């Protein structure tokens, strides 16, 4: 759960660090909170591609989310 919270903080930080159209690559650990994180990311990004590199061990729970085309959160766009 700590890694999910860290990723949520990173997504929040995108409002300060990313320009519209920007991309974010984040490493996540597969688990029950993955879908909640995905839904939160889609509030600010147009698309998410789930990536598991071929160099990663098959039994590893590590995956990556490639978050594409940042457009800002609904709160930022309302300003």
How far apart (Å, rounded) are the C-alpha atoms in residues 57 and 53?
Answer: 9
- Euclidean distance between the first and the last CA atom of the chain, given in angstroms as a whole number: 32
Looking at domain 2-74, its CATH class is alpha beta
Q: What is the full per-residue pLDDT of the chain (79 aa) written as tens digits? A: 678 889 999 999 998 999 999 999 999 988 888 888 999 999 999 999 999 888 888 888 889 999 999 997 545 444 4
Note if 27 is an active site residue.
Answer: yes
What pTM was estimated for this model as a whole? 0.80
Nearest to 21 by CA among 72, 75, 78, 69: 69
DSSP letter string, 28-50 = EE-STTHHHHHHHHTTTEEEEEE
Which pLDDT belongs to residue 58?
82
Q: Where are the domains of the chain?
A: 2-74
Active-site entry in 27, 39, 61, 79: 27
Which pLDDT belongs to residue 29?
87
């Amino acid at each position: 759960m700590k890694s999910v919270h860290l990723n949520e903080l990173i997504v929040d930080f995108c409002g300060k660090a990313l320009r519209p159209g920007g991309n974010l690559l984040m490493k996540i650990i597969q688990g029950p909170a993955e879908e909640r994180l995905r839904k939160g990311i889609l509030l600010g990004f147009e698309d998410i591609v789930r990536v598991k590199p071929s160099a990663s061990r098959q039994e590893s729970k590590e995956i990556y989310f490639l978050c594409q085309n940042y457009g800002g959160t609904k709160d930022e766009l309302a300003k």
